[in-house]
């Protein structure tokens, strides 16, 4: 059996940015969470 080269294991899909306002909106609807640490915007890169 021949190998056809190295195949890329994951393919880049998109980037998401989680902003502080997003976290505050989430916390407002979930009373079980009472406090979040301060942070800068988080950038999430999604690979499939």
Which residues are CB-contacts of 6 (< 8 A; sequence separation ≥ 6)? none
Residue 35 pLDDT exceeds 80: no
What percentage of the chain reaches a pLDDT higher than 90?
29
Residue 28 pLDDT exceeds 70: yes
Q: Where are the domains of the chain?
A: 12-47
Residue 30 pLDDT exceeds 60: yes
**Are 36 and 6 a contacting pair, CB within 8 Å?**
no
- Rounded to the nearest angstrom, the gap between the alpha carbon of residue 46 and the centroid of all alpha carbons in its chain is 7
Q: How big is the chain, counted in residues?
A: 48
Angle at 44 between CA 48 and CA 34, to 5 degrees: 125
Whole-number mean pLDDT of the chain? Answer: 83
Residue 14 pLDDT exceeds 90: yes
């Amino acid at each position: 059996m021949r190998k056809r080269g190295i195949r890329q294991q994951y393919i880049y899909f998109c980037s998401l940015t989680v902003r502080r306002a997003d976290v505050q909106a989430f916390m407002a609807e979930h009373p079980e969470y009472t406090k979040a640490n301060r942070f800068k915007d988080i950038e999430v890169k999604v690979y499939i």
